[in-house]
Amino acid sequence: MAAPTSAEKTKALLTAAGDPSKTMPLGAMGLDQQGQLVRKNDDGLVEFTFRYMGYQFAVRAEVHPGHTRMRIHAVLGHLPYTAEARELRTNMRAVVHEAGRALGGRIHINPEQRILFLDEFNFDETLTPGSLLTKTVAFLLSAKPYLELLSLIAGASKAVYAMLPAPQAKAPAE
């Protein structure tokens, strides 16, 4: 059997989440020969990535009996340099500031000028497919308006820059 695709893994996870008989605690997961979601081993670590609204997210969950620690993060882009686009930089900083304020600091700009979105959950239950999806979706829905606004601003700036004439090489001053 060929290696399962990301879509096949996601479908198997969704199927398992909707089946009460499959509320097994998660660990390293894989698909068996029949395409069913199964545990590979008992290392208690779940890691996966996915794309949402054009952004790449990563999830890491450490599962212990009766307790789970889960972290979701994404790099939402970089602030443009002031010399490149002063207004764009100002607008993006304003959106990130308001998003960070509204979401309790989960969106911020790091010292390397990357716009980061992250959250960490600690909950006193063993991770199941249902709880994994619930926490992930709740995280994304809380930030959706800000993600849309950042996408709009970044997309608009690319369209504006595409309309500008290419820089001309200047002759050396005499």
pTM assigned to the model: 0.65
For 74, phi then psi, to 5°, come to: -155, 150
Amino acid 42 reads D
User: Between residues 169 and 64, which one has the greater pLDDT?
Assistant: 64
Mind listing the pLDDT tens digit for each residue in 4-21? Answer: 676 776 776 667 666 655
DSSP letter assigned to residue 99: H
Q: What is the pLDDT at residue 74?
A: 92
The answer for residues whose C-beta is within 8 angstroms of residue 136's C-beta and 6 or more apart is 59, 72
Residue 58 has pLDDT above 80, yes or no: yes
Q: What is the pLDDT at residue 112?
A: 93
Residue 117 has pLDDT above 60, yes or no: yes
Q: What's the rounded Cα separation, in Å, for the pair 17 and 86? A: 46
Read off the pLDDT of each residue in 35-40 and give the average, rounded to a whole number. Answer: 60
Domains observed in the chain: 46-161 (3.30.1460)
DSSP E strands, the chain: 29-31, 37-39, 45-52, 55-64, 67-78, 107-109, 114-123
Q: What is the pLDDT at residue 19?
A: 64
Amino acid 36 reads Q
